[in-house]
Structure 1
Amino acid sequence: MKHDQNSVVPNDNGYIRRFSRVIEYIYANLDEDPDLATLADVAALSPWHWHRVWQATYGESVFATVKRLRLHRAAADLTYSDLPIGEVTSRAGYGSKEAFGRSFKQVYGSSPAAYRATGVKGRLQPAHGGAPLPKKQGNTTMHSVEISSYPAETIAVMPHRGAYMQIGQAFEKLIGVLVNRNLICQTGAMKAFYFTDPTRVPEDDLRSAAGTVVPEDFPIEAPLERFDFDGGEFAVLHYKGPYADMKWAYEWLYGEWLTQSGREPADAPCMEIYLNNPRDTAPADLLTDICLPLKPAS
Structure 2
Amino acid sequence: MLERLNEALGHIEEHLVTELHGDLDPAELARIAATSEYHFRRLFSALAGMPLSEYVRRRRLTVAGAEVLAGERTLLEIAVRYGYGSGEAFARAFRAVHGVGPGEARRTGAALRSQPRMSFRLVVEGNSSMKYRTVAKDAFRIVGSRARVPLVYEGENAAIAAQIRGLGQETLDRLAGLSAGAPAGLVSAVVHLTCSREEGAELDHWYGVTGAPDAAPEGFETLDLPAGTWAVFENEGPYPQALQYLWRDVFTQWFPSNPYESRPGPEILSVRPSADWTTAAAELWIPVEHTAA
- TM-score, normalised to structure 1, is 0.45
Larger Cα Rg: Structure 1 or Structure 2? Answer: 2
More strand per residue: 2
